[in-house]
Structure 1
Amino acid sequence: MYDSTDIQSNKGMAIIAYILFFVPLIAAKDSKFAMYHANQGLTLFLCCIILNVVLPIIPFIGWILLPLVNLALVILAVLGIVAAAQGQVKPLPVIGTYTLLK
């Protein structure tokens, strides 16, 4: 499904996708591997934005959950970076099944 030469030549772009998801969209738009990780990075970014806007609005429970959710999001980013560095196409837990980019 994913070409090994594509994976080897675009590992860096796949890693960057979890930090700045839009960089692979510009620099490696022809790479299926980089685009997969850009999709994962975009999904993670949107989850960060939504949860960091919604949770502070919820009194007490939201305030308690916010640091835990942010820690979980950082862990997901690290898992994605590790998978990209190893050349794996592995969906992130919980949010990895959503496809926002084609």
Structure 2
Amino acid sequence: MNVGCRSAIERVAHLLCELHARLGTVGWATRAGYDLPLTQQDIADTAGLSNVHVNRVLRQLRLMRLVEVGGRRVDVLDRAGLRRVAEFQDGYLQPTGA
């Protein structure tokens, strides 16, 4: 994940998009969402943010009606909108022929 020049909301949105894409490739996610294999502290550590900041970002994403995160579940309400915020393109996740 490339977090260096991203804002906090872009970092968290990108992580949620990447998890959605990766879990989807192995059948552990649907278009509607997925079970979150990470704690909020894990998200903070991965994104280089504090736990408190991640909490605020998740609330902001919820208020934007992009995702609902509760317990260990992420419900993706607006996949295109979340990808836009994250500037997410999943091409690098697709296998290429060898």
Q: Same fold (TM over 0.5)?
A: no
Larger Rg: 1
Identify, as 1 or 2, the structure richer in helix. Answer: 1
TM-score by length of 2: 0.31
